[in-house]
Structure 1
Amino acid sequence: MEIKKFFGASFEQSRVIEGDQFLKWMINDVEQPNHEDKPVLIVLLGLGTLYGIYLLPAFAHYLVTGNNKKSLISLPEINLLPNWVAIGEIVIFILFWLLSRFLRRRYNNLFWRHMNVNLLVLFVMLEFNLISLMFFQKEWGIFGVLTIITLLLVTTIVSVKKQLGNLEIIIFETDGNSKITNKNVKYALFIIGLVIILLVLWKIFLSKNIDKFGGIIIIPLMFIILNVMTIMLEVLFEIPYILLNFYKHKYSEEYRIAEGKTPREWYGPKHLKKESLR
């Protein structure tokens, strides 16, 4: 289906998306009614994460230049995480944070805060993935690395298409059955979690001395499973949550009236003050 069809949904159609089970989970998790705001802690955690993002390229450089013959697998020779990657991520985050400050209103303040945190998590995942691929390139070669990347890209594309198809059925009430159900996702996450637990237990109890071949197989397998799980969580939970907040921005007055909020409660005093000065 065409992505732009979602942007053209009416207010009445946009309200239907709130029936999505994954969206309900997101709202309950992010927008907790008794949420206690801790801005100082959030700022400290954010700065600490940015500092960690900046330091990881130094660790990658050490892996390439170091010489540890006792390593489980051969150390990489090509550094896939140069300093400019971390600097670019930090610049992108700062620009995104500034944009979110411009777009924030009281009704979507928690949404933008969540998006900032989610962006930091994705950057950390990206850097760890690049470091992991450095090892895989040494053991599996270019073809093996490209195979892993292709598998993850195909998983992402298929998951996004299925989720959009699922949301199309919900919002526009088109013919067809829901392609992704709550039960299916629970089973998938259960299987992934079980595989990870079994691998960890096998490593601890059944193989005190993992040979090189075991490391070559297990580490990429865990890498793929963790990334597939991350892709599923991002697609199933983030897409409907982002779409709902787009509708709240597009139909802000309609949503305010529907939820019985005053302009001050919905937009916040700062925004109302700016509007009155225009």
Structure 2
Amino acid sequence: MKIFRASFEQSRVIEDDQFLKWMINDVEQPNHEDKPFLMVLLGLGMLYGIYLLPVFAQYLINDNSEESLILLPEINLLPSWLAIGEIVAFISFWLISAFLRRRYNSLFWRHMNVNMLVLLLMLEFNLILLMFIQKEWGLFGVLTSIALLLGVSIVLVKLKLGNLRLMIYGTDDKPKITTKIVRYTFYIIGLIIILFVVCGELLSRNSDRLDGIIMILLMFIALNMMTLMLESFFEIPYILLNFYKYKYSEKYRIAEGKTPREWYGPRHLK
């Protein structure tokens, strides 16, 4: 991809991205004091949450309360083996990041580890919400929700990459249809929401239950839109900048006026 073939001088333009500036100020704070004990507690707490959510999902399956405002799911989309697989995947990612970590990118990899835990938790929350959507709207509702989620993800990523290409090269070589795609994607999302609400109102005899259905749908949309926008507009430029810091490590070290010991750390000096 052209976005990964910029020269050192071109790559430095990425630092002008306004979202990236906020990201760096937030993650790489001046006079940052390491608190490894708190980071370990945070990581263990999030891993425990990843392990517990499948238990909650199974509880929803087994709960036969007739007072529930919505139909409880019957199909468990979040089995315990999935949580175990996620934990194994995170540990593998953490080990790889430990191998790649240098002093100049240690905060980046620490942030990536936390970000991966957040994404794994988001995946599990989504699966639980899809369990309710499947019960109310069947397979069509689940597939439609996933398709819309993938569509919005692709659009937002393309939008941000196009913006970064424009910054780096002064031109975006992709067709100028991104704005229209974004607009029509949100039109489709709005239409689907309206159809779900209308169909639910026609089919439901219990207004409280309908309110519960709408709340789940709004939670699904809000949760994913917030996550997708944060990942697209903040994480992508941050990852790209650190890719170039790795690719042009010595040039960035010289440009930032760091000694080899300050840049790489004493453990990685040859």
Q: TM-score, normalised by structure 2?
A: 0.86
Q: Does the aligned pair in 1 maintain the 2:165–2:172 contact within 8 Å? A: no
In structure 2, give the amino acid aligned to 1:116.
N
Q: What is the CA deviation profile of residues 52-105 of structure 1, one whole-angstrom value per residue up to 9, with x for unaligned ones? A: 111111111111122111112111000000011101100110000000100000
Aligned to 1:51: 48
Asked if 1:147 corresponds to 2:148, the answer is no
The equivalent residue for 1:160 is: 157
What displacement does 1:175 show? 6.0
Determine if contact 2:101/2:109 at 8 Å carries over to the other structure: yes
**What is the one-letter code of the residue matched to 1:235?**
S
| Structure 2 counterpart of 1:33, from 30, 37, 44 | 30
> Deviations along 1:149-190, whole A, 9 cap, x unmatched?
11111100000111111000001111699x89xxxxxxx9xx
Q: Distance in 2 between matches of 1:126 and 1:146?
A: 16
CA change 1:210–1:116 in 2 (3 A) is: farther
Deviating more after overlay: 48-57 vs 97-106: 48-57
Following TM superposition, the consecutive aligned residue runs of length 4 or more in structure 1 with deviations greater than 2 angstroms are: none
Stretches of structure 2 that go unaligned for 5 or more consecutive residues are 180-185, 187-205
Task: State the match for 2:225 in structure 1.
Answer: 228
Cα deviation, residue 218, structure 1:
2.5
Per the TM alignment, residue 246 of structure 1 is displaced from its structure 2 partner at its CA by 0.3
Take 2:249 and 2:169, find their aligned partners in 1: how far apart are those partners?
A: 20
**Alignment match, 1:119:** 116
RMSD: 1.8
Whether 1:267 aligns to 2:264 is yes
Is 1:253 the equivalent of 2:256? Answer: no
Percent identical residues? 74
Question: Structure 1 residues 25 and 157 mapped into 2: Cα distance closer, same or farther (>3 Å)?
Answer: same
Matching residue of 2:91: 94
Q: Distance in 1 between matches of 2:239 and 2:255?
A: 19
Write the distance in 1 (CA, Å) between the matches of 2:37 and 2:218. 39
- How many positions carry a matched residue from both structures? 242
Aligned to 2:134: 137
Q: Offset of 1:222 from its aligned partner?
A: 2.5
Distance across 2 between alignment mates of 1:228 and 1:117: 19
Alignment partner of 1:65 is 2:62: yes
